[in-house]
Structure 1
Amino acid sequence: MREELSLEAPEHSLALLAFVLDVDRRQWSAHFYARLRTLTRDGVQARMSRGVADRWEHRAMEFVPFRPADVARYLLRADRMHRWAPLAPALFHLALVHVHGRTSVERAEAQVVRRL
């Protein structure tokens, strides 16, 4: 978090959601849910505008309300849908379930998919 977003440990909490092994590709990943303690969106943007330890790897950062329908619509936008890393949709789904519960997340996702 410090390297990518210039956030120090007291400023956020992390919860491990999943540990993933891809034996075919010999890759692994850990999926975490991160929550800011006191910083707001504006605070994060201001912090990052001053630079980060590891040069920023993305052209832009987009902020989306962390509600199941909003996140599902964002993931499935025509200009984004085929640009995600393979594990990204699963990570977003797991994080939403962690916060909002499986039933409400699956219901919202199904509604968004039906409206495509």
Structure 2
Amino acid sequence: MERRGWSAHFHARLREVRSTDLQTRMSRGVADRWEHRTIDFVPFRPATVVRYLLRDDRVHRWAPTAPALYHLALVRAFSRRTVERVEAQILRRL
């Protein structure tokens, strides 16, 4: 009850705006402190996202719910069979 682990994870499709344009827009306005120092833009494809989640510099830094949330977002977009096949291929190579 004393500790809470809040987390929010998002994916957004940028159709008419590039990631650099979005970063420029987000940097406008009053300078304040964000909870995160960077925002990483990763193409939303199963292999790309799974490799990103498993990067050596990231793998132990995720909130406990993050891998599951990204997995479920991928499944919703690409199907369970496709995502699990890609995950298995990547994990075999580790």
- What TM-score does the superposition give when structure 2 sets the normalisation length? 0.78
Backbone CA RMSD of aligned residues: 2.6
- What TM-score does the superposition give when structure 1 sets the normalisation length? 0.65
Q: Offset at 1:32?
A: 6.3
In structure 1, what residue type is equivalent to 2:25? Answer: R
Which has more strand, going by share of residues? 1
Which of structure 1's runs of 4+ aligned residues deviate more than 4 A?
25-34, 51-54
In structure 1, what residue type is equivalent to 2:59? Answer: M
Partner of 2:27: 49
Q: How many residues align?
A: 92
Work out the CA distance in 2 between the residues paired with 1:72 and 1:104.
Answer: 12
Q: Percent identity?
A: 70
Structure 1 unaligned segments of length 5 or more: list them. 1-24
Q: Structure 1 residues 107, 71: closer, same or farther in 2, change over 3 A?
A: same
Structure 2 unaligned segments of length 5 or more: list them. none
Q: Structure 1 residues 101, 48: closer, same or farther in 2, change over 3 A?
A: same
Q: Offset at 1:49?
A: 1.3
State whether structure 2 residue 73 is matched by structure 1 residue 73.
no
Correspondent of 2:71 among 86, 93, 102:
93
